[in-house]
Amino acid sequence: LGGRGFNVLVLSFPQASMENGKLSLLYNGNAVSSFAPQVPALLAQLRSGFATRRRIQISIGGWGNTPTFAAIRSAGVPAFVRRLTEDVIVPLGLDGIDLDLEPQKGDLENWIAAHREYGKILVDLTNEYKRVHPTHLVTHAPISPIAAEIYMKPASIPDLKGNLLQATRTPQ
């Protein structure tokens, strides 16, 4: 992988669901838990290959995976973050999350609709995760036309004052 050029690795894209109050993560149709104990050992080996420690995040969502955000909403953000922490973040030794909210279809209206539908969850998840893990990274993966529309302009997201950038800013 080389010694320079990046400082964060992102594991992409498990899909989340809540079943009987328990977080279930699938990766290519397989339960993430089925990869243990190999995955933590492999991640430790990967980290040890660099002179400077690399951070490792997990990206939640991805193209067409809005059901992940529906699972977060149905479980409640604090319960989801707690379960994610217990089942994924701590066992894998991760350093943060990437939130990749993408719609089921690709035109601009569908992108805006997905953020209108789940934007408040994105904000609440960002803020709750940072409350629980203040030293961890939280990143979002919007596409550029959407970023300008929803991160900088006043959002058309119910129950959100201002824009996404303001709503997820960590107080200094």
Q: State the burial class of residue 59 (Cβ atoms within 10 Å of its Cβ: 0-12, 13-18, 19+).
A: middle
Per the CB < 8 A criterion, the answer to whether 126 and 120 are in contact is no
Looking at residue 16, what is its pLDDT?
A: 78
DSSP state of 136: S
Per the CB < 8 A criterion, the answer to whether 122 and 164 are in contact is yes
Looking at residue 63, what is its pLDDT?
A: 74
Confidence of residue 91 (pLDDT cuts 50, 70, 90): confident
Q: pTM for this structure? A: 0.78
Looking at residue 133, what is its pLDDT?
A: 97
Give residue 84's identity as a one-letter amino acid code.
L
> How many Cα atoms occupy the beta-carbon half-sphere of 57 within 13 Å?
21
Distance CA 158, CA 34 (A): 38
- Which two structure tokens, joined as six digits, stand for 26? 């699938």
Instruction: Give ∠ CA 160-143-106 in degrees, rounded to 5.
Output: 95
Distance CA 150, CA 140 (A): 12
| Most confident listed range (2-16, 29-43, 56-70) | 56-70
